[in-house]
Amino acid sequence: MYIGRIVSVGRTQDGRLCAAYRVSSRSFPNRTAVLGEGKISIVPKPGHESDVMKNPYIAYNCVRIVRHGDIAVVTNGSQTDVIADKIEEGMPVREALVLASLMLDYEKDAYNTPRISAVADKNIGAGWLGIVRHDGLEVQRIPLEFGRLWYVATYEENTINRSQCDEFPVSSAEEVCDYMLGGGVFAQRTHPVTGVSALAADYGFDLFAKDVTPGS
């Protein structure tokens, strides 16, 4: 089943918070994730830079780490920076998610693609999911259980509810990426392109990114 892009928030079996993202695409698969200082960006692969002229929504920061390493913001678009900046300024997470959703709204493409967001706050042990669709907006604090992950996607599974909760048997940021790309429930979600993760560590969050291996 194709459900488009996916964000998730969860807690590992040993209690670490995690936020993650998967790019799934049928139209623009030639993208990769690039790690930077406290962030991860989605960009076209070399030779496909002109794709951004066809669709302005395909390149963006998908991860930002803020509040001295305590909070990870993970989204499918330019709302990453809005949410991260507002949290850095002191705005509560829920309000930052709502504000960014109201400001930017859903993507004005041929599919009315929703904006989806996840936030993990390791200081207070809390996680949130948010989505703004053409027909509504949802922001919810997620009950984070050990070894469980919640997710929301741009298509089909595009509401926040417990039916989109799965086991989360991972122990590293790389394993989170592997899981998002083809583990558990995501093994049945088609057209993966790249996965990124922010996994809580002693000093902040471990960041990792992994592209799907061609032919896999």
Query: Rounded to whole angstroms, how far apart are CA atoms 179 and 186?
Result: 7
Q: Is the pLDDT of residue 216 over 60?
A: no
Average pLDDT over residues 4-27: 97
CB distance 74 to 63 below 8 Å: yes
Tell me the percentage of the chain whose pLDDT exceeds 70.
Answer: 99
Question: 183 CB contacts (<8 Å, ≥6 apart)?
Answer: none
Percent of the chain with pLDDT over 90: 94
Phi and psi at residue 180, to the nearest 5°: -65, -35
Q: What is the mean pLDDT of residues 18-36?
A: 95
Instruction: Name the residue type at position 13.
Output: Q
What pLDDT does 45 receive?
93
Domain boundaries, the chain: 6-211
- pLDDT in the model for residue 11: 98
| DSSP labels, 15-45 | S-EEEEEEEE-SS---EEEEEETTEEEEEEP
Nearest alpha-carbon partner for 60 in 23, 25, 89, 97: 23
DSSP one-letter string for 131-191: EEETTEEEEEEE---BTEEEEEESSSS-S--GGGEEE----SHHHHHHHHHHSGGGGGS--
- At 50 the pLDDT is 93
Question: What local confidence, expressed as pLDDT, does residue 213 receive?
Answer: 78
Rounded to two decimals, the pTM is 0.96
What mean pLDDT value characterizes the chain? 96
Indicate the length of the chain as a whole number: 216
User: Which of these CATH numbers, 2.40.30.10, 3.30.300.30, 3.60.20.20, 3.60.150.10, describes 6-211?
Assistant: 3.60.20.20
Separation CA 162–CA 117 (nearest Å):
17
Residues 6+ apart with CB under 8 A from 122: 16, 17, 70, 71, 72, 200, 205
Residues 88/66, Cβ–Cβ less than 8 Å: yes
pLDDT tens column, 154-182: 999 999 999 999 999 999 999 999 999 99
pLDDT in tens, 65-98: 999 999 999 999 999 999 999 999 999 999 999 9
Question: Across residues 177-201, what is the average pLDDT?
Answer: 97
Please report the pLDDT score of residue 215 as a whole number.
58
